[in-house]
Amino acid sequence: MRLLQYAILILVAVAAPGVVLTRDPKPQVVTLSFYGLLCGLMFFIFQAPDVALSQITIGAVMLPLLILLALTKMRRHNMRQQQKAQK
């Protein structure tokens, strides 16, 4: 059990800088989602299943989804701006 706990802590510690070092927003969403999943696993290993469930649903599903949706919205806004400039 101890070994598992140390292993997941190290994994989370490695994944966190990975998210920060991914500079492009779209790949960053994927790494963020993976990091959220790892955090959920960490809570589960530390025997907090309630928190793990919230973390997986929010950190690995909803947060990346909302970021992706916001990115799409921004891109469309930029496209419209460009079209207006061309006219």
Partner 1 sequence: MSSRARTTLFLVAAAGLAVILVLGLIDLPPMGDYRGPYGYVVTQVAVYERHATDVVNAINYDYRAFDTLGEEFILFASVVGVLLLFRPSPNQQGEQEQQKGGDLEDDEESLPVSDALRVSTQVIMGVMIVFGVYIATHGQLTPGGGFQGGVILASTPILIYLAGDVRAFEKITSSPLVKLAECGGAGGYGVIGIIALLAGTHFLTNYLPLGTTGDLFSSGTIAVISVVVGLEVTGGFVQLTQVYLREIVESQLKREE
Which residues are at the interface with partner 1 (CB under 8 A)? Answer: 5, 49-50, 52-54, 57-58, 61-62, 65-66, 69-70, 72-73, 76, 79-80, 83
Q: Angle, to 10 degrees, between the axis of helix 25-45 and the axis of helix 63-86?
A: 170
Pick the closer one to partner 1 by CB: 27 or 80.
80
CB of 68 to partner 1, least distance (A): 9
Distance CA 26, CA 75 (A): 12
CB of 34 to partner 1, least distance (A): 18
